[in-house]
Structure 1
Amino acid sequence: MFFVIADKELSLYICTYTERDMKKEAEHAGKKNIVLLALPQVQLLDIAGPWDVFTSANRFLNSGREESGYHVHLVSGTSEKIICSGSGMPLSCSYTIYDIDFPVDTLLVAGTALSVLDEISPDVYYYLQNITSQIRRLGSVCVGAFVLAKAGLLDGRQVTTHWKFADVLRKSYPKLEVNVNPFFICDKPIYTSGGVSSGMDLALALLEEDFGKALAAEVACHLVLHLKRPGMQSQFGNALPEYETMSPFTKQVRDLLKDKLGKTITVEYIAESLNMSARNFSRVFVKESGLTPGRFLEKMRLDQARNMLEYTDMSIEIIADKCGFNSGVSLRRLFLKNISLTPAQYRKTFKRTE
């Protein structure tokens, strides 16, 4: 549990008292110490979601095996115990990275705003680098993967993060194997999870790893969650990166094609429109976007089809034609390949209502 500050002095007193009592109980009961590392502008659900999974597990365990369970700690990544969340809600942490005095079993770095990553103290990265060899598991929720990456702890590993920032992570840290599809990835002893609520998917997986599927399923039912959520992150985000993150050259190509997706488009046509040779255009485009022109065009068409399925009542055949596919069968094949849903299933799940 973390505390919202209504009265600063009272909140700090309650938090200190509770932490002292819980710590003593944990030391005697042999509970695993879970640290949720909070940074300025932290996403509330990145903290609250995993917290509720672990503490809910305690309620079920305490009815039988009181020696088991978790002791969950909210730890500040600054020298201050008061952290302001991204929503403006202040959080009171029991510890900071400078005064932790207990052995850590599992540490999860909660997500924060990308804009504040450069303002994080170097001490956070030193702390993570030093603690890695002393703990059983290290992980991240959402944009927390950027913190682990900057600390040099993800090189050569399979990782995930929020679908919206996967391409930024991939370009910023080319030694990482970034996969936007899973809700979480285990590359032991490192665990990374996707956007926001994916932290709960990860926490349930860690719980199952520790105490078995039966308890994890019980907690999932209690919290009205899927033990194993169907689908993947890519169902929620665009196939292409956000327009704002594209290079100027990639934006120029995207703007050129956006109203022509229903027509036949060749590399030669794009190159000629930009006064370039086809060979030189393809080379520059791959360097600028990380995609071949053909793959980029396919993703543009996929995004347009998704948008039309969400916002219009056009038939799938008409949508396929307007997006440049030969038939509804071709569109269906592309949907299954990229998001594991048929166009009809996608529309049923994501159709916008007035």
Structure 2
Amino acid sequence: MNKSGSDTETKNIVLLVLPQVQLLDIAGPCDVFTSANRFMVNDHLYSGYKIHLVSGTSEKILYSSSGMPIMCSHTIYDINFPVDTLLVGGTDLTVLDNINTDIYRFLQNISGNVRRMGSVCTGAFVLAEAGLLKGKQVTTHWKFADILQKSYPDLTVNVNPFYIRDQQIYSSGGVTSGMDLALAMLEEDFGKPTASEVARHLVLYLRRPGIQPQFGNSLPDYDMMSPFVKEVRDLLKNKLGEAVTIEDMAEKMNMSVRNFSRVFLKESGLTPGRFLEKMRMDQAKNMLEYTDMSIDMIADQCGFGSSVSLRRLFLKHITLSPSQYRKSFKGE
């Protein structure tokens, strides 16, 4: 296979489908590229894209996480055309535990013959396991960013952007971020006017404002925490409005401050103080979404001391003020 990339030739896009893939991980980018084809044909500009759904198994029919069947034209065992761009769709991490290792060999073998390779959502775990993300800056769904970083310390996870390009490797965040990535690739290939036209047609931002953490919790889900971290969290959850020190936490766990700090950092990846701050952030988000309490009162009850401190942390971590967050996410 030879790398393709001429503006005038049809670019073969492979969307790699895994068992239990989230349908939008595949359908979103597919709609961006096929919509681009329609506009380019109408304008008599370019040949555009040819999209291929390729199964990551020996079966051409796979089922999405919603139960809908996906008919693939090829499998990883019978691709017989040059590939310009390959995107790996995401799936549940438990599925990846049982995936056929042939998929990693396939990705390793094809990586030198494609112009670019990327991932949507948890598809980054597949590229990482194949050894293709070493030394790269990548992103994934905000919920799984910490797991990706801990599992593959030789890469750098940046959870903020909806997508990242690092040389020929592209990665995108959760689910709909695959459409943000596809639009960026379209703009890269055929220019901003075509990408803008497709974005308007699909009722999307060409470049979505904001960052991923606006949409999720600062901390991982409770069931992803170790028993030790869960115990500390349970001790803290009703004390967020109080002045809590590391000494207080260590005493409650019957540990020295030094040993407690060491064990907590190892188990959670965060210092105790940072963990407490994130707990307070998540509680403040929850109260902004589901209560009508004033921002001053929320700041006090979450232990921030003042609305100024709360505002400063919101702007730092999610680029929205508390009032902007409430307006965007309360659903009024």
2:282 to 284, 289, 303: 303
Deviations 1:116-143 (A, max 9, x none): 1022111100000010000000000011
SS in 1 for 2:42: coil
Letter of the 2:12 counterpart: N
Aligned residue runs from structure 1 range 35-114, under 5 A: 35-65=14-44, 67-114=46-93
State the partner residue of 2:123.
Answer: 144
Letter of the 1:317 counterpart: D
RMSD: 1.0
Q: CA deviation at 1:245?
A: 1.0
Deviations 1:39-59 (A, max 9, x none): 111111011100010011111
SS in 2 for 1:62: helix
Letter of the 2:262 counterpart: R
Using the alignment, how far apart are the partners of 1:212 and 1:198 within structure 2?
A: 20
Using the alignment, how far apart are the partners of 1:198 and 1:315 within structure 2?
A: 33
Q: Is the 8 A contact 1:56 1:219 kept in 2?
A: yes
1:289 to 268, 271, 278: 268
Q: CA deviation at 1:279?
A: 1.3
Deviations 1:189-208 (A, max 9, x none): 00000000000000000000
Deviations 1:201-234 (A, max 9, x none): 0000000000111110010000000000011110
Quick check: 1:337 aligned with 2:299?
A: no
Q: Cα distance 1:67–1:312, how it changes in 2: closer, same or farther (>3 A)?
A: closer
* Structure 1 range deviating more: 60-69 or 260-269: 60-69
SS in 2 for 1:100: coil
Q: CA deviation at 1:30?
A: 2.1
Q: Is the 8 A contact 1:168 1:245 kept in 2?
A: no
2:162 to 183, 186, 202: 183
State the partner residue of 1:251.
Answer: 230
Using the alignment, how far apart are the partners of 2:45 and 2:77 within structure 1?
A: 31
SS in 2 for 1:65: coil
Q: Give the ranges of 4+ consecutive aligned residues of structure 1 lying more than 4 Å apart after TM superposition.
A: none
Letter of the 1:225 counterpart: L
Identity over aligned residues, as a percent? 73
2:209 to 201, 221, 230: 230
Q: Is the 8 A contact 1:30 1:68 kept in 2?
A: yes
Q: Is the 8 A contact 1:311 1:352 kept in 2?
A: no
Q: CA deviation at 1:67?
A: 4.0
Q: CA deviation at 1:170?
A: 1.3
Letter of the 1:60 counterpart: F
Letter of the 1:170 counterpart: Q
Letter of the 1:332 counterpart: R
State the partner residue of 1:172.
Answer: 151
Q: CA deviation at 1:102?
A: 0.3
Q: Is the 8 A contact 1:142 1:193 kept in 2?
A: yes
State the partner residue of 1:220.
Answer: 199
Quick check: 1:328 aligned with 2:310?
A: no
Query: Where does the alignment leave 5 or more consecutive residues of structure 1 unmatched?
Result: 1-28
SS in 1 for 2:97: helix
Q: Is the 8 A contact 1:208 1:215 kept in 2?
A: yes
Deviations 1:264-311 (A, max 9, x none): 000111111111111111111111111111111110100000000011
State the partner residue of 1:133.
Answer: 112
Using the alignment, how far apart are the partners of 2:59 and 2:309 within structure 1?
A: 56
Q: CA deviation at 1:352?
A: 4.7
Letter of the 1:173 counterpart: Y
Equivalences, count: 325
Q: CA deviation at 1:65?
A: 3.4
Q: CA deviation at 1:252?
A: 1.1
Q: CA deviation at 1:64?
A: 2.9
* Structure 1 range deviating more: 280-289 or 101-110: 280-289
1:347 to 323, 326, 329: 326
Using the alignment, how far apart are the partners of 2:205 and 2:32 within structure 1?
A: 12
Aligned residue runs from structure 1 range 307-318, under 5 A: 307-318=286-297
Letter of the 1:172 counterpart: S
